[in-house]
Amino acid sequence: MASRHKARQQSRNFINIIRSLISKINLTKLVNFLRVNTKKINQQLPKLKTYLAQRRTFIFGLLSLLAFSVVTVAAILPGTHIFEGNLIFQEMTFTYNDLQPKLFLGNIKNIKELENEGSQTLTFTGSFQSESLPQLNQLNSLKIQLTDRKSKLIITPANPDTTSEITLEELRIQPQTKVAGLNYDFYRQQLAFSLLTNPQINQNNFNTLKIYLGEQPVKVILENYKLPDLNLPQQQDQQTQLDFIVNPNNKEFNLELAQNTNIYITLSQPPKPQSEQWFRGKIATKDVRFSRVDRNSRDIRDDLEVSTIIEGKIRMAEQEREIQDNQFLMGEDPNVPLNIQLIRHLQLIPDKKGIEARFSGRTKQIQIGLDQDFPVSRIQSSWLDSFLPRDAIIALFSFGVATIANLLSWLFSNAPKSDAKNSN
């Protein structure tokens, strides 16, 4: 009640102050002031019209100078434009930049060996065979804990002479997952990459790897593991490599990749043209790099960033540039990756020993060069490029510069004459 009374009292005080200010204003004087000044303005209007009429040519010249100056500046001022390009590269890194999980990989068949490095928990069901750990032969279910970043899970056909039925059906990544070091080794026929998660965003959501194990038995190899359902010595769990054969009941096997992990997929034969269907297109991205870090010492200052580009082209605002082997592709700041916002398509190119990426984004400037600090080629377009063809802008700019020069000369020569006539 006290607070309400105080608020009402403050409101009344404010109203009283406003009333006192209004009462001090002499309305008669205010009306007379407005009437006198209105008359003065009306009296000066004919003179202003006469002044403008006498100098309309000069004023028209000033307005023309202003208009051509604006157009000329617009033809020079850099603008942000959409670019598109395609590259063949050996290795790339990007961050998935969308709000929903995204299908990244799928339909990879005839896998000779699937290796996963990282900590996680998984369970196999079926019948087991193991010479190094006979206790497994009595089980029909086996829970495995991969304990740390160096833990390994390797799945391969039990009989290497048969055609592998192991298939990666899909890999779905969560928002803000970083796909690092994506590459394909055509000598070993191995696709490799790392998944680096963002724990602040995906605390309870995991990247998921769905595998079809097939109808045949598979061999499983473990390193740095624990088997919580078996009372094994800790030394054996952590130090000894375990391998066993399982005839799985769960033909479709799901891995929840809760933390950072490395994935290596080795094929039993060279990829076929269907490999273009491995990667799902339209991946929203940020921080895209076509490079790798060469580390030859323990000192981080000795690290070198090496371009992984083989060849490609990039286009923006009717301008096109070729990108040669080992050149870097940069944006406005050489130390910041080009703002690639969408990877439209990814595909293996066996003839070039690389992976092709088609992409697009927005930027003010594209720079290309063998050294990031010394680019040799640039694409930079003006604000007008969003509205007019390049040839029209060049013609308009040339005409505008010539017209501005002539107008300045004419205005300087005619300004004194106008003043002299007026004084007479």
Q: What is the pLDDT of residues 377-396, one digit of tens each?
A: 888 776 555 555 665 656 55
Q: Is 319 exposed, middle or buried (0-12, 13-18, 19+ CB in 10 A)?
A: middle
**DSSP assignment of 285-326, as one string?**
EEEEE-EEEE--SS-GGG-EEEE-EEEEEEEETTEEEEE-TT
**Burial of 1: CB neighbours in 10 Å, binned 0-12, 13-18, 19+:** exposed
Q: What is the pLDDT of residue 15?
A: 56
pTM of the predicted protein model: 0.75
Contact 108, 346 (CB under 8 A): no
Confidence band (pLDDT; 50, 70, 90) for 405?
low
Convert the pLDDT of each residue in 189-233 to its tens digit.
Answer: 999 999 998 777 666 778 899 999 988 999 999 988 888 878 766
The three-class DSSP label of residue 38 is helix
The model's confidence at residue 281, banded by pLDDT at 50, 70 and 90, is confident
CA distance readout (Å), 321 to 47, 253, 316: 60, 46, 9
Measured CA to CA, the distance from residue 210 to residue 321 in angstroms comes to 40
Mean pLDDT lowest among 29-38, 137-146, 150-159, 248-257: 29-38
Write out the two tokens for 272: 């076929």
Q: To the nearest whole number, what is the mean pLDDT of the chain?
A: 78
pLDDT band with cut points at 50, 70 and 90 for residue 339: very high
| Residues paired with 245 in a beta bridge | 129, 219
